[in-house]
Amino acid sequence: MREALAQAHAVLVADYGRHTASAVPAHLAAVARRTPLVWDPHLKGENPVPGARIVTPNGAEACALSPAGGDSLRAYAARGADLAERWRVAAVAVTLGERGVLLTRPGAGTPMLVPTPYRAQGDPCGAGDCFAAATAAALADGALPEEAVQRAVAEAAAFVGAGGAGNPALWRTEPATGPEEEAPETDPFALAERVRARGGTAVATGGCFDLLHAGHVGLLESARRIGDCLIVCVNSDASLARRKGPGRPLNPVADRLRVLAALGSVDAVAVFEEDTPAALLSRLRALTSG
């Protein structure tokens, strides 16, 4: 564990009240001084170590840990600032479900509310874990706390939209099928041909989408508005690894496809193995030319 902590680009402590974190508090405190550390607390667990970059209690935990006040955003902001001072951490992000996340810092500074990008319909179980993990991953990528929280809110919304903990993809026992085995109505090439045949415009965009964040969601929504369907071109695992380096992807291509397909702005997804989607775009253009 000590070796892993020393090499980590970010650390996430998910405290479920089993007191595992109490075995290495000095090591975690030392890590927090040099590495972004996200602490997801538990009422029966340990206090976050001083210097933690972001602590992520939910609304109920924040109320229990700092009881004063009501249910307003101002009250949660006061709780977050109080906990940040008490724990001596850089920031506290209180997760408030559909209301979004309130990022607070010690003292009387202005809090930042990050609303959810859309109202996700799905099982919310596990959304807090998804938020904490995505926050840590974004900090590992060099994101500022504000940017990390924005990315994580978008990831958590997409997680819920894809079915949350009830998503069968999380528990699959068979290898995921490739895009060529998708149902006909979601086949990107058949879709592009149908749209063009009736005089419509097919729009394509692409990317890795290994950490889906608010900027991605805005891009996809904007792209969808300029045409009659949106096809998203996604780097394969091998292509993404070549672009992003060791340790990537964080999410395998099957999971990235499921999350993207769950977004209301996306009509179909397609995977490409090359470094760029140029060949895939050429195939799509050939279907829609004339």
Active site residues: 129
Q: Residue 14 in 3-state DSSP?
A: strand
d(CA 154, CA 157): 5
Burial class (CB in 10 A: 0-12, 13-18, 19+), 263: buried
Residue 138 zone, left/alpha/beta (φ > 0; ψ -120 to 50; rest): alpha
Q: Which helix (H) or strand (E) holds 215?
A: helix 214-225
β-partners of residue 113 are 102
β-partners of residue 54 are 38
Which runs of E-coded beta strand occur in the chain? 11-14, 37-40, 54-55, 92-95, 101-104, 112-114, 202-207, 229-235, 268-272
Query: For residues 272 and 239, is the Cβ–Cβ distance under 8 A?
Result: yes
d(CA 6, CA 4): 5
